[in-house]
């Protein structure tokens, strides 16, 4: 398999959920063979950079190899959350697409 640069959206799905001012984004590889590529690309630092405009207080990545998935938990990125954000998307439901737009390298 040759190297290629693709968008995360080309190889993985993502779903956002909220609890208060905390966001989680689950990233699921459509084909488990891309698990390693996504693991290499989506480091905690990289995800923090992608969400820099929301100034995350903390980013944690949980790895779920049996599901070929990752769970990212970002603290304090929802402008106070659905109860106090001035934005239209206080739940952060759209934010999975911020991650899906990330470029990643596939192949070895």
- Tokens (6 digits) for 83: 């109860």
Among 4, 33, 94, 103, binds another protein (CB under 8 A): 94
Closest CA to 63 of 90, 91, 43, 93: 43
Cβ atoms of 30 and 12 within 8 Å: the answer is: yes
d(CA 6, CA 3): 10
Choose which of 4, 5, 15, 57 interacts with another protein (CB under 8 A): 15
Interface of this chain with another protein, residues 23 to 42, rule: CB under 8 A: 24, 26, 28, 30
Per-residue interface string for the shown chain with another protein, residues 48-87, x marking contact by CB under 8 A: -----xxx------x-x-xxxx-x-x-----xx-xxxxxx
């Amino acid at each position: 398999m040759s190297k290629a640069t693709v968008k995360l959206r080309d190889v993985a799905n993502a779903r956002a959920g909220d609890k208060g001012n905390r966001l989680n984004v689950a990233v699921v590889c459509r084909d488990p063979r891309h698990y390693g590529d996504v693991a290499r690309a989506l480091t905690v630092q990289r995800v923090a950079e992608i969400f820099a405009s929301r100034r995350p207080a903390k980013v944690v990545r949980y790895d779920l190899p049996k599901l070929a998935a990752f769970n990212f938990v970002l603290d304090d990125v929802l402008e106070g959350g659905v109860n106090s954000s001035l934005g239209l998307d206080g739940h952060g439901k759209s934010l999975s697409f911020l991650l899906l737009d990330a470029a990643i390298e596939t192949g070895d």
